[in-house]
Amino acid sequence: MENINSFVNEYIDGRIKAHVNFINKIIEEKGPTKQNNKGYDFPVVISQEKLLKIHKLKDLTQIKENEFKVSYYGFNEDNIEPIKFKDIAIPKEEIINPI
């Protein structure tokens, strides 16, 4: 099960980085957005994204054949820091297509 934790958390990081690439393209084409995500401190397109937080997987335990117990790290807790826009912003010449 430990491999699934790494896979899920790497997927989350990749999805956030893909959003940053996407938002960079939007900003390049249309100018700055009017909203920022409060947790990650990066621009977002719609107001519903302002409070979005994706918690990292802490533990996944199989209880029965088709039953699992899942726990997540708290946002900004347990020594897990969310990715910040300033840490992964990509120069526009390096922008790639989002996932």
pLDDT digits (tens, 9 = 90+) for 10-56: 998 888 888 888 998 999 999 999 998 888 888 899 999 998 888 88
- Cα–Cα distances (Å) from 26 to 46, 50, 97, in that order, read 12, 16, 12
Half-sphere exposure of 23 (CA within 13 A, CB side): 24
Q: pLDDT at position 88, please?
A: 54
Contact 77, 62 (CB under 8 A): no
pTM over 0.75: no
